[in-house]
Amino acid sequence: MATTSEPDGGAAAGLSRTYRDALLNDVIPFWQNHSPDRECGGYFTCLDRAGAVFDTDKFLWLQARQVWTFAHLYNTVEPRKDWLETAQLGADFLAAHGRAENGSFYYALTREGRPLSQPWNIFTDAFAAMGFAEYGRAARDPLAVEIALRTYRLFEKRKTSPKGRFSKSVPGARPLESLALRMIHLNLLLVMGDLLEEAEARNTAIALIDDVLTRFRHPGLGILLENVPAGGGVSDTFEGRMVNPGHGLEVLWMALAAAERWGRADAIPLLVRSMLSVAEYGWDREYGGLLYRLDILGKPPMQIEWDRKMWWVFAEAILAFSMAYEHTRSPECLAWFRRFHDYTWAHFVDPQYGEWYGYLNREGRPLLDLKGNRWKGCYHVPRALLESARALDRSHEGSRRNPQAPGR
């Protein structure tokens, strides 16, 4: 029901139906039809525009994330047997082949599960922990929960030297703190905080939120930096100047969700203001859409792919602003939500073969004819569709309960 308290008369809230429909009748069926490897276990993620498999290597970020996605659907949407089976296909493959001797997860395996790329990447462990935590909940499998917890503790240990012996940096030469590590830790807590002691989860989450807002948020611009000196300020180096607007929005919605869950609702207004700053800063005034990488001092960005439009950036932006709108009911948040929605539906969604293109050029045309590869899998898009639909629903419910929406 539209109410006058919603700036657009409820039209955005109506998009929750669009998102659920896209999730359940397009995106999830696409991956269920094309991705399971029923012969060797796990998933194919290198899928062309129509869903045909063009490479069979198994990248463990994507294997673990897809476990999470299907287990999460099972846990929170509907306990469908086929979803649980799909999650199990990946969880079993990861449990059988994923771990090196030290318990860390390899970065890539062959189709059959032979190790290809060493366990050099701490994020692989993080995604594995999330996948097993969510799957353990779905399958009521204590062994999966145990893997999740053990991998979480490994993640914590690796945090101070994430790449360990694989690091190419000279230790201590240029100590910068990483936003990505904060983001993934927040993500871990949101997914598996209930498996930890409540005080541990809460204290860790609150420290991370404060860290994001006090160390990574540029006080003048309100946007987030990817790497900051331990002592504060901006490091005038390639890494220190780097701005990744989509990443900024992703960490901000995670911080918002954590703030709500662990009693730091007072931080929400600043988190939302930061989202607005990031979107304003990263928006491509020439061609529309959010740019991929920028340099905070306006120098040439390090990445030659800086002007690409990336699927995950838009998924995270839609989710960030649907949540921002839910919490503020501000027309500005709603306008940004609509802007990202409109760009995405005009450019990323493939009405002919389903799912989203992964990569567009600056002008908004697909530059790779694919729906999945070694980086794009079944994760950002379904997560954003599901959680945005929920935020829009809550927002709509809230506006009926409390038409004045004075903000919290």
Q: Which residues of the shown chain bind its own copies in the complex (CB under 8 A)?
A: 48, 54-55, 57, 106-107, 110, 114-118, 120, 165-170, 173-174, 236-238, 299-302, 304-308, 359, 361-362, 367-370, 373-374
Minimum distance, C-beta of residue 127 to its own copies, in the bound complex (Å): 17
Helix (H) or strand (E) holding 227: strand 227-229
Please say whether the beta carbons of 46 and 53 come within 8 A. Answer: yes
Minimum distance, C-beta of residue 152 to its own copies, in the bound complex (Å): 23
Of residues 107 and 132, the one with the C-beta less far from its own copies? 107
Of residues 306 and 353, the one with the C-beta less far from its own copies? 306
Of residues 111 and 338, the one with the C-beta less far from its own copies? 111
Of residues 7 and 245, the one with the C-beta less far from its own copies? 245
Rounded CA separation 120/138 (Å): 29
Helix ranges (DSSP H) in 39-80: 60-76
Of residues 46 and 386, the one with the C-beta less far from its own copies? 46
Tokens of 293: 């990488």
Q: How far apart are the first and last CA of the chain?
A: 22
Task: Tell whether the torsion through CA atoms of 123, 125, 128 and 130 is positive or negative.
Answer: negative
Please say whether the beta carbons of 140 and 87 come within 8 A. Answer: no
Minimum distance, C-beta of residue 363 to its own copies, in the bound complex (Å): 9
Of residues 106 and 340, the one with the C-beta less far from its own copies? 106
Please say whether the beta carbons of 116 and 68 come within 8 A. Answer: no
Rounded CA separation 348/356 (Å): 5
Nearest to 225 by CA among 264, 282, 309: 282
DSSP 117: E
Minimum distance, C-beta of residue 402 to its own copies, in the bound complex (Å): 45
Of residues 84 and 108, the one with the C-beta less far from its own copies? 108
Rounded CA separation 103/96 (Å): 12
Minimum distance, C-beta of residue 316 to its own copies, in the bound complex (Å): 18
Minimum distance, C-beta of residue 109 to its own copies, in the bound complex (Å): 9
Question: Residue 316: which residues within 8 A CB-CB, separation 6 or more?
Answer: 246, 247, 249, 250, 253, 380, 384
DSSP 105: B
Of residues 76 and 117, the one with the C-beta less far from its own copies? 117
Minimum distance, C-beta of residue 343 to its own copies, in the bound complex (Å): 19
For residue 141, the SS3 value is: coil
Crossing angle for the helix pair 331-347 and 268-282, to the nearest 10 degrees = 40
Please say whether the beta carbons of 324 and 256 come within 8 A. Answer: yes
Of residues 194 and 305, the one with the C-beta less far from its own copies? 305
Rounded CA separation 169/230 (Å): 17
Of residues 327 and 376, the one with the C-beta less far from its own copies? 376
Rounded CA separation 388/20 (Å): 9
Task: Tell whether the torsion through CA atoms of 125, 130, 135 and 141 is positive or negative.
Answer: positive
In this structure, which amino acid lies at residue 262? Answer: W
